[in-house]
Structure 1
Amino acid sequence: MKFENIIVEKEDKISVITINRPTSLNALNAKTIRELSEAFESLDKDEEVRVVIITGSGEKSFVAGADIKEFTDFGQKEAEELARNGHTSLFNKIENLSKPVIAAVNGFALGGGLELAMACHIRYASENAKLGLPEVTLGLIPGYGGTQRLPKLVGKGLANEMIFSAKMIPATRAKEIGLVNEVYPVEELLTKTKELATTIANNSPMAIAKAISAVNLSDTERGFDTEIQYFGEVFELDDKKEGVAAFLEKRKPNF
């Protein structure tokens, strides 16, 4: 896959997507969103890849937000279409991918950048990371899932505080409130993220795909019934047979 604004690398069951627009702090423009959508769709079908990491180029910024220049003249119809297309083509696609997606947040994750990180299943951050949703300072609100995913991660009160105040928070505070899982020095971030990805990649991809879907329904009426259904379904899969056999034979499973 060849792209202009992102770099896609694969190694040992792990793919790393790097958003590569350093002159604009890796801001999300329409082309970058399209390229990310294509990359995730391709990687989801790639049987050699079990975990995807997404990060930004350099050490200053993961994604500093959406590229505002692209929609300054939009009206209501165009704005709604922009948000809806973003949800469908990228943000929801990441959240519902059959493979775990880990955000390695290296620096600024603002606006659409934080929304991108929140669509991922797990978030690691560098010590210099700053996270926030500054949209109200522009007379806007988050449009790529910020008002929906942030309350689920940190609670309604803290989400309201972040959205209404538009304040950036440091990585240490983000970990305290559950917005990121771990915080590491800048130079260790990608290494630590890859370590987690390797651990995950050694587990059953079939079971993980079911778990992703079940967790995504955890705040709906279908959550428990879905878990029960998937719990039954995995009993018919090859990974369950291999996992149980390996346990009984006291060896590592070969998924």
Structure 2
Amino acid sequence: MSTTRINGSLYTDIQNKIATVVFGHPSSNCFPSELLERLSKEIISLGNNDAVLIIILKSEGTKAFCAGASFDELVAISNLEEGRLFFSGFANVINAMRTCGKLIIGRVQGKAVGGGVGLIAACDYVFATESAAIKLSEFTIGIGPFVIEPAVTRKIGVAGTAALTLDATDWKSAYWAKEKGLYAKVFESISDADKEVSTFTTKLASYNPAALAEMKKVLWKGTEEWNLLLAERTAISGKLVLSEFTKTALLKFKK
């Protein structure tokens, strides 16, 4: 199945019990709200699909993996409800990935910022290339990575999240991310990463489906309250984005 619109693209291909989901957008694979909604629905659908055992998540192209949420939509937020809805986009995707009964394998070919880092953290196992540096730059515009923080901290710990968040202008290398546990393996090229992803997911798909499903539950144990937690975090971000500090910072970035 596939969908392509002005707000980005989302493609899903299912072969041999493995679903490959590919998202894309002309602006460095950023996520407008509509694309986030489509991705969350697609993950939920695949989780309920008995023909699927494993999900691969990746983005289009050879450059950026994901530039986070749409900057144009961020700038346009004018009230608390719009802010809440905007930040709920990544919250819904993270919760969909968390509750999906299928293991999700990420393939990251390039840089990831903000929500893109949260998307990576919500994967169960991630293969990346040497170009897959990461950054959480939210502080530079007066907000913070509050919505994605639970997923990121779950993977790299409080110290790692603090380093990413407080060093808001600095990129962390793919090897830094691997050392912290965000990436499982790092490869020199996209082709090398793709070969390993193919081999790895083929093996996983040959295992007992019941065991895979139970392992998914084990990996996410302790996150049962995230529906409420992430809703609280969207409210925090939605309020901050309306602050004078953030409005001024966003105008500077836009210019």
TM-score by length of 1: 0.80
**2:56 maps to what in 1?**
53
Matching residue's letter, 1:51: I
Tell me if 1:98 matches 2:111: no
Matching residue's letter, 1:157: A
Residue 14 of structure 1 deviates from its aligned partner by 0.9
**2:2 maps to what in 1?**
2
Residue 81 of structure 1 deviates from its aligned partner by 3.0
**2:76 maps to what in 1?**
73
Tell me if 1:38 matches 2:45: no
Tell me if 1:196 matches 2:200: yes
Cα distance in 2 for residues equivalent to 1:218 and 1:77:
29
1:183 pairs, out of 182, 186, 192, with: 186
Matching residue's letter, 1:148: P
Q: Tell me the alpha carbon deviations over residues 97-155 of structure 1, each in whole angstroms, 9 at most, x when there is no partner.
A: 1000011011011111111111111111111111121111111111432x212222222
Matching residue's letter, 2:3: F
**2:17 maps to what in 1?**
13
Cα 1:144–1:106 shift into 2, 3 Å: farther
Query: How large is the Cα RMSD of the aligned pairs?
Result: 1.9
Cα distance in 2 for residues equivalent to 1:143 and 1:78:
17
Which structure has the bigger radius of gyration?
Answer: 1
Asked if the contact 2:90–2:115 (Cα under 8 Å) also holds between the matched residues in 1, the reply is no
Cα distance in 1 for residues equivalent to 2:16 and 2:146:
35
1:137 pairs, out of 137, 140, 151, with: 140
**1:163 maps to what in 2?**
165
Residue 71 of structure 1 deviates from its aligned partner by 2.3
**1:154 maps to what in 2?**
156
Number of aligned positions between the proteins: 218
Identity %: 24
Specify every segment of 5 or more residues in structure 1 that has no aligned partner in the other structure, as ranges: 221-255
Residue 158 of structure 1 deviates from its aligned partner by 2.0
Q: Give the SS at the match of 1:102.
A: strand
Asked if the contact 1:128–1:186 (Cα under 8 Å) also holds between the matched residues in 2, the reply is no
Cα distance in 1 for residues equivalent to 2:143 and 2:223:
27
Matching residue's letter, 1:192: E
Residue 85 of structure 1 deviates from its aligned partner by 4.7
Asked if the contact 1:3–1:35 (Cα under 8 Å) also holds between the matched residues in 2, the reply is no
Q: Give the SS at the match of 2:3.
A: coil
**2:212 maps to what in 1?**
208
Q: Which has the higher contact order (CA 8 A, sep 6+)?
A: 2
2:121 pairs, out of 118, 121, 124, with: 118
Asked if the contact 1:175–1:181 (Cα under 8 Å) also holds between the matched residues in 2, the reply is yes
**2:221 maps to what in 1?**
217
Cα distance in 2 for residues equivalent to 1:179 and 1:2:
29
Asked if the contact 2:36–2:89 (Cα under 8 Å) also holds between the matched residues in 1, the reply is no
Cα distance in 1 for residues equivalent to 2:81 and 2:34:
20
Residue 41 of structure 1 deviates from its aligned partner by 2.0
Q: Give the SS at the match of 2:68.
A: coil
Matching residue's letter, 2:153: P
Cα distance in 2 for residues equivalent to 1:219 and 1:140:
24
**1:86 maps to what in 2?**
90
Q: Give the SS at the match of 1:46.
A: coil
TM-score by length of 2: 0.80
